[in-house]
């Protein structure tokens, strides 16, 4: 099953490692460092149409990616669970 992250991007739910709130995790030095390092490695893909609210960490075939989404983590979880 696939999860639509916004824009025109969907990912296989089996590849999702973490779904994180942008506001809560970027206030820490560790969160900022993680995103900075992922950016340096070219692993960040911005699929947000607006203000970024979450980021989704995926890994498939040994390739890690971090998707920045304008959808809240709660919205993405509801989509994943098939709830409205």
d(CA 5, CA 72): 10
- Tell me how far apart the alpha carbons of residues 78 and 57 are, in angstroms, rounded to a whole number: 17
Mean local confidence (pLDDT), 29-43: 96
Mean pLDDT of 19-31: 94
- The structure tokens listed for 46 are 């911005």
Residue 47 · residue 68 · CB < 8 Å: yes
Please give the pLDDT value at position 39. 96
Length of the chain, in residues:
84
- Checking if the pLDDT of 57 tops 80, the result is yes
């Amino acid at each position: 099953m696939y999860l639509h992250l916004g824009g025109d991007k969907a990912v296989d739910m089996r590849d999702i490692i973490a779904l994180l709130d942008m506001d809560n995790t970027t206030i820490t030095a560790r969160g900022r460092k993680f995103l900075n390092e992922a950016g340096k490695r070219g692993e960040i893909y911005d699929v947000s149409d607006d203000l970024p609210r979450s980021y989704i960490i995926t890994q498939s075939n040994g390739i890690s990616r971090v998707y920045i989404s304008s959808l809240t983590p709660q919205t993405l979880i509801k989509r994943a669970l098939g709830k409205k």
